[in-house]
A and B are shown apart, each in its own frame.
Chain A
Amino acid sequence: MKQPEISKDLFNHLVDLAALQLNQQESDYIFLQLNHQLSAIQELKAIDIDPDVPIALHGVPYPVKRSPALRPDKVESCEDSSAILSEAPQLEDGYIVVPDIPHTTLE
């Protein structure tokens, strides 16, 4: 295999940004597969794209007449908010409990 596109350092940076924790076996497998996938998409770079071709965020066009009408901007109460809150792993007095959120200074 040629030089991997993603270096180990960049890979570890991505893992950190993605808020993931990987064991060694996972890290080795994903690092290899990620580079395989990037090799597979190199073909994209070679495609001759006419400068006029726009991006497509959806395949099917959405003219206004085919889009659903916007809902009125009014508050609707939740039928059973306790059912939603009860899914939280840790709850206290209707608040979701999390560990410390350390103070950080934005750069």
Chain B
Amino acid sequence: MEICNLSALEIRDLITSKQVSAEEVLKAHLKRIDQVDGRPGKINGKAISLEDKKKVHAFITRTEKKAFSQAKAVDEKIANGEYPGILAGVPVTVKDIFCVKDTLSTAASRILANFKAPYTATPVARMENQGSVMLGKVNLDEFTYGSSNESSAYQPSPRNPWNTERVPGGSSGGSTASVAAGEAPISLGTDTAGSIRQPAAFCGVVGLKPTYGRVSRYGLIAFGSSLDCPGPIARNAQDAALMLQAIAGLDSRDATTANFPVPNYLAAIKKDIRGKRIGLSPDYFRIAFPDADSDTYDQQEVPPAIRDAVLQAAAVYQDLGAHIVEDVPMPNTRFGIPVYFVISRVEAASNLHRFDGVKYGYRTQEVNGELKTLYRRSRGKGFGLQPKLRILMGMYVSAAQYSEQYYRRALRVRTMIRRDFEHVFDPNGDYRLDALLTPTTPSTAFPMQDVYGNSVLMQYADQLTVPANHAGIPGISFPGGLDKDNMPIGVQLLGPDFREDTILQLTHAYEQATLRADWRSNRPQVMEELPHNDEL
């Protein structure tokens, strides 16, 4: 078995049982990165070549020196008989939206291109305390504003390992691409509208958005502060559980973390799923796309391949003894994106005011005016199109004279979306669901440049994932098959507050029941041509 194809749990166990060293594992992954990743994203980089188009380009910054020092520390601990942590020697990539001390922390934006964080984000620090080995910071949409990674200021932006002509999704596209291509078994991402689950679906990996407050946001460069959730990306449910174990829990530095016990996720996922109640909602099998020219909405059914993958997953669960509840009403699902357009932009505009060319980050060299000119020029040159668009939208819909019709109204519809979930998850209610089973995305990964530029259509890639962010509940996307173009299909499970254990358990049960499914023998395109190496 090739080291880079092993799970995080397998790697950890091989290292702690001294069958392989953390340094050997690290070297194998660095070799894989050299083979598949191509040049890292850069600002003002050279034009993208045909050769570039065959590579993944997950990374912005590789942190090899740090990785070797962390791997060495793990090997020394094991040699000395000390406890090395639950992620001992496991290579990880980190979305470049998290601050990591003395490391460039760019948010994929020119305005933070020179910013070296003076402290480390809590989820990263917790992984490090558990023995992880950080390979580097991976690319994303600028400030996480997108669903394809194409808006990154660092080009080439990541490409989908299953077909490098397609996008990896976003905004945690560098994270999911790196995990799909075997560059790392796990990655830390963030999810504000689906930014873990949508790219996980596109890249054929597992992505978990925890409950809001389950994982600390300290050290995360903020987008929508009431929606942002850090979470794990992995190749299977066990690894996502392992990583969540490391990062979850109360943090005195984030007042929105919940004082709520963290269960043993790895133990929980092995439990029997018999008797679990899993819902299917017609409201998650149709999608709405606005037509900007006519101001009308086109309602469509989700593509048959995606619908069938979800229904097959339901059949698998039924065979395993779960109870499938059909026709679950989720009537406010369709308002998720319009509400998001308002709430997230208001929060983004507020959060982006701190970048001013004064305290840190990019400052214009044309300093020949007064302070406001400095702000305007620094922000004008430092921000790309998407941050500028979001700032202006957020300021407009929260302005005193428009706030009632937009912002406050959106916050009330948010309550209605939350109530949909409370109703169906209520243990004493009509439905008493343990989870809702849905498609993750309305399409599989689309071609590069197909949607980019149309900011409305791009946002609608998140319409089946964003309700969970409004409601704060946990959600997971896992691979449920391939479409006719050999592109991965994501299946989503949504659960009640703090029941990550349940949705991980259900994901694990599906994985075990479909281990021998034909589609599981297919591998991402970039791995097909690799020479075999680093076998154990």
Contact = CB atoms under 8 A, between A and B. Distances in A.
Interface of A: 1-2, 6, 11, 14-15, 17-22, 26, 29-30, 33-34, 36-45, 47, 49, 53-60, 62, 65-69, 71, 80, 83-84, 87-90, 96, 98-102
Contacts of A39: 290, 292, 295, 456
Contacts of A40: 290, 292, 337-338, 341, 456, 459
B118 A87 contact: yes
A19 B356 contact: yes
Contact of B473 (A37, A38, A59): A59
B376 A99 contact: no
Nearest to B372: A19
Contacts of A87: 115-116, 118, 359-361
Interface of B: 115-116, 118, 211-213, 226, 250-252, 254-260, 290, 292-293, 295, 297, 335, 337-339, 341-342, 349, 356-363, 367-377, 379-381, 383, 385, 388-389, 391-393, 395-397, 405-406, 408-416, 418, 454-456, 459, 469-473, 497
Given A34-B389, A34-B392, A54 B252 contact: no
Contacts, number: 197
Nearest to A83: B118
B416 A53 contact: yes
Contacts of B413: 44, 47, 49
B371 A21 contact: no
B363 A90 contact: yes
A96 B414 CA distance: 42
Given A1-B293, A59-B470, A68-B255, A96 B396 contact: no
A66 to B, nearest CB: 5
A26 B385 CA distance: 7
A48 B455 CA distance: 27
**A contact face: mostly helix, strand, loop, or mixed:** loop
B392 A67 contact: no
A59 to B, nearest CB: 3
A56 B415 contact: yes
Contacts of B292: 1, 36, 39-40
B371 A55 contact: no
Given A60-B472, A68-B250, A87-B118, A55 B411 contact: yes
A71 B259 contact: no
A59 B471 contact: yes
A21 B380 contact: yes
Given A43-B297, A66-B260, A56 B335 contact: no
Across the A-B interface, the 4 shortest Cβ-Cβ residue pairs: A59-B472, A21-B380, A60-B472, A87-B360
Nearest to B407: A55
Contacts of B414: 55-56, 59
Contact of B371 (A26, A41, A67, A101): A101
A37 B376 contact: no
B255 A67 contact: yes
A21 B385 contact: no
Contacts of A71: 252
A73 to B, nearest CB: 14
Given A33-B455, A53-B416, A102-B370, A84 B118 contact: yes
B455 to A, nearest CB: 5
A37 B415 CA distance: 22
Interface centre among A20, A36, A45, A84 (most CB of B within 10 A): A20
A34 B389 CA distance: 7
B380 A55 contact: no
A21 B358 contact: no
